[in-house]
Amino acid sequence: MSGARVKPWQDGDPAPAELVAGIQARRPGGEMIGIDRVLLRSVPLATGWNGLLGRVRAEFTLDLALRELIMCRVAVLNGAEFEWNVHRPAYLAAGGTEAKCAALLEDGIAPIFDPAEAALLTLTDQSTRHVAVGAEVIETLKHLFGEEQTVEAVATVAAYNMVSRFLVALAI
């Protein structure tokens, strides 16, 4: 994190104790990571971010392995190394495989992914690269996952594009 473009928040710097505790509660072992410390430079941002991303990570009904798959693909497409390094292990812990991680690094969608995963990767690729997503992609997702999880998939892609853009812009 030494190359971050803004000075990260340090233990002892001013911040609402309940916000710091909430961020720590989302992290394994309560250990804040680089993005948390940069976000804490803006209390309103850190508050909203922690709430939104906490819900995406912990409360959506779309399977965690599928959400982590999306998060990893967004990280790859946007060149967000920090994001990849955080979500790759989380994807593996949720049931992903090393072979699928390797396939995420390639252009296109490898045949190693099942139809549901391929549909989510198509969504991720289109939304991340072009913003617009084809109607047929959404229809396929609705058929595979229903409307609630389709909305959650789209929101996961959007949220983690926000994350990667923040990370890359500030060199976290």
pLDDT recorded at residue 3 = 85
Query: In terms of pTM, does the model score above 0.85?
Result: yes
Residue 113, pLDDT score: 98
Burial class (CB in 10 A: 0-12, 13-18, 19+), 94: middle
Q: Binning pLDDT at 50, 70 and 90, where does residue 1 land?
A: low
Can you list the domains of the chain with their CATH numbers? 17-58 (no CATH), 64-169 (1.20.1290.10)
CA 12 to CA 39: how far, in whole Å?
Answer: 15
pLDDT in tens, 108-133: 999 999 999 999 999 999 999 999 99
Residue 73's nearest CA partner among 49, 108, 114 is 108
pLDDT tens digits, one per residue of 52-87: 999 999 999 999 999 999 999 999 999 999 999 999
